[in-house]
Amino acid sequence: MRIDEKEKVILVGCQLPEDDDERFQLSMEELNSLTKTAQGTVVCSTIQKRQKFDSATYIGKGKVEELEMLVEELEADVVIFNNELTPSQMRNLSASLDAKVIDRTQLILDIFAGRAKSREGKLQVELAQLQYLLPRLMGQGISMSRLGGGIGTRGPGETKLESDRRHIRRRIDEIKRQLRVIVEHRNRYRKKRKQNQVFQLSIVGYTNAGKSTLFNRLTAADTYEEDLLFATLDPTTRKMQLPCGYTVLLTDTVGFIQDLPTALVAAFRSTLEEAKEADFILHVVDSADLNYITHEETVEKLLEELEVEKVPQLHVYNKKDITSPFFIPTPTEEFVQVSAFNQEDIEQLKETIQQMVIAEMEEYHIQLPAYEGKLLASLKSETVLMSMDFKEETTMYECQGYVFEGSPLYTIIKNYEAMKE
């Protein structure tokens, strides 16, 4: 197969009685999108309805035989299953099918591996892959791992299987050690930002909701953006200037997805904690997606798992230019509808964010002498300065705005307010 040739893929889903028809169909469509993101070409999609998954082969024996014929007829390279397969299911299906057998978790891990750019991202993906691989190593296991008595135990000592397992465990421990160092480094950065009283916002949302596009328009950054699932993997933080001139920090995070593998949630916890440390969260929703309600619920559930649900949120319904006229926003306290490509919408979103920031601050009204140029400059950059008027009769600047109570400027401002009284 040439390098530029895409692998032919057959998708397989198994619908249980508790699976809603619409939700199951959308799950299969999402698997199709994931395959496209992984550079695969779907040549066939097949499903089976069962009371429960077959413990040996996930789907029934007849369906396996049908798959064997489909693989041969369509010359498929890969068969992807919509649920996570157990080690025995993986082994049995691999023995029956003349194609690579992977499941939804492996597919997501593969996409993450291709997307990771930073050292932390690469380590997190490798950790998740090794944790997934460890129980799925195939072989005769512990009975062949040492010299012993009895039939089947005499041998060369440690087998290749046990050697591989030992190597993987050692590598997992090493990755965890390296990640601890990176997490400590990230925590120091967070602590420093907190000490500097910089207001922090995090963009979260379902994968492909348009978070990176919105992030780029708000911050004039050049983060990678494309109509693919998991286009962003490494968190990026940039400065964003509000209409009043006040500067905040905005972080773009990895997209969430339904049934995100547990190993990945655990591995990317430190990355997702950027949202946990935020003062405010922009929850971006693709309002053009018919399944937007389920996507919202998935994100809210993950935020709850990360204990972030108490951080103030603004729901940003993106892609309003291609949204159905029947779209109804989910009832929330605060929401806006925007198109990331409409500059007026971006300015309106910044205004809304500014109002949210102001709601967390305390108002001030002070008079400053003209020689306090340095303090006036600090008011412009470190507080939300709404007005600054020079009064010729008093040669004083009259300033009105908002400041965080924990800001270093707070005490100075309060002293000037006291002088005014």
Extract the annotated binding site for GTP.
Answer: 205-212, 230-234, 252-255, 318-321
- Degrees, nearest 5: CA angle 185-186-188: 65
Specify the amino acid at residue 134.
L
Q: How far apart are CA 127 and CA 262, in angstroms?
A: 12
3-class secondary-structure state, position 335? strand
Q: Percentages helix, strand, coil for the chain, rounded to the nearest 5?
A: 45, 20, 35
Q: Which residues are annotated as a binding site for Mg(2+)?
A: 212, 232
Determine the angle formed by the axes of helices 61-74 and 87-96, rounding to 10 degrees.
50
Q: Which of 81, 163, 176 is nearest to 131 (CA)?
A: 176
Give the annotated binding-site residues.
Answer: 205-212, 230-234, 252-255, 318-321
Let me know the angle formed at the C-alpha of 119 by 117 and 120, rounded to the nearest 5 degrees: 100
3-state DSSP assignment of residue 238: strand
CA distance 340 to 320: 9
Whole-number Å distance between alpha carbons of 356 and 51: 49
CA distance 235 to 232: 8
DSSP 165: H
Q: Are 209 and 255 in contact (CB under 8 A)?
A: yes
